[in-house]
Amino acid sequence: MKTTISIQFTLSIPQLEYLADGSYKINRMAMFLHLCKCAALKDMPSRLPGNKGTVRIGQVEKSIKQLASEWTCDAKTAAKVINSMNKLGILTTASNHITSVHTIHPVAAWIVDNVRIRNPYFSPSYNPASLTYGTFASTSCAEMFTSHNEENNAGIDTDMYKRISKRSTSATVQGIPVPSILGIEQYSVVTDETSATANNPDTVASSTSGQAGQVVSNAHNSSPALCPDKAMSAPAETLPVSGRSDIREDNLTT
């Protein structure tokens, strides 16, 4: 009989971006998957001599040297990946003089032959109790993507990526992109920059005052009767901006 295995997990955008980043030819997603496959599916005592601890569901008992060997990389790289996963909330690592225990948080459950083994350490980036279900129209940002912007939507093309990468705030970039996570991020960049400029008149005023100040300063040098130039303030810095009937839930215990 073939065993079917599924993993339910939830990753935030920053966590996904880190795991998907292939810098230095390191497959971080494969490292994360390896940890998910090595996680205990029932509570059991440690198998290492001298370690009296218990490895619980959702935990992996492996030292950095072990992980480096299994990931085919050096120990320094493995330690760096583990530290970054800890900072992003993917793992919580507890180490002693014998080994390290890594607790996995994004995995909600492992499903083995239609038996759902819940991860007691599951910690998503949202509050499950506050979730409501609906369509995109019920989201808080739906007002930015209304139907009267269809004409603008038709004008969105690949050039928008270039314009946004240059941080341009011209009127030609004010089109509303297609409602998607990428579209929301793109529109946020444009609207944040536009609002920052609109709410920061000192940026425009300072340049005007600078020109006027230069004229007054030059005139002051030739005519002592003119008023001296007022001190100009520097422009304010713009901030950069479950329910299937064929699945039963069960926790395996010793």
Instruction: Please check the confidence at residue 245 and state whether its pLDDT lies above 60.
Output: no
Compute the average pLDDT of residues 238-247: 48
Go through 28-40 and write b for each residue having 16 or more CB atoms within 10 A of its CB, e for each that does not: beebbebbbebbb
The pLDDT value recorded for residue 64 is 95
pLDDT at 209 over 60: no
pLDDT score at 163: 52
Segment 69-94 shows an average pLDDT of: 96
pLDDT category at 172 given cuts 50, 70, 90 is: very low
Q: What are phi and psi of 228, to 5 degrees?
A: -70, 155
pLDDT at 241 over 90: no
User: What's the mean pLDDT when you consider all of the chain?
Assistant: 76
Helix residue spans in the chain (DSSP H): 13-20, 28-38, 64-70, 75-87, 150-154, 159-165, 181-198, 202-222
pLDDT for the residue numbered 96: 86
Does 254 or 47 have the greater pLDDT score? 47
Q: Is the pLDDT of residue 92 over 60?
A: yes
Residue 114 CB coordination number (10 Å): 12
Residues 171-198, buried b or exposed e (16+ Cβ, 10 A)? eebebbbebeeebbebbebbeebbebee
